Amino acid sequence: MSGKTDHVVAVIGAGAMGRQIAVQCALHGVDVTLNDSNVVALDDARGFSEEYLAGRVAKKRITEDNRQDALARLHFHADLNEAVAGSSMVIEAIIEDFAQKADLFG
């Protein structure tokens, strides 16, 4: 796996796409904050991340150290302002609904 970068990524939306993006960023040495206004979605994303990474270790695709490093890079915030604070890049991965996207970008 790659070493740590100076970049911080915020992923807005903890659904299927957002959680995968966040985990891949973390696996490649990027600190990432996953945001969703739905706390249940954030909890589900946290559980997914732990399960997915454990599965990668079990399949010998990553080491236990890689798993621990990735988990340490993953942060979860329900507050949008906290999630994007200090980010060098923001990735939008919310529901495909124009009104909600317009509200987010507004």
CA dihedral 15, 18, 23, 29 (to 10 degrees): -160
Rounded distance between C-alpha atoms, residue 58 and residue 36, angstroms:
29
Beginning with the edge strand found earlier in the chain, give each strand of the sheet holding 31-35 in spatial order.
74-77, 31-35, 8-12, 89-92
pLDDT in tens, 71-95: 999 999 999 999 999 999 999 998 8
pLDDT, tens digit, for every residue of 1-43?
Answer: 445 556 799 999 999 999 999 999 999 999 999 999 999 999 9
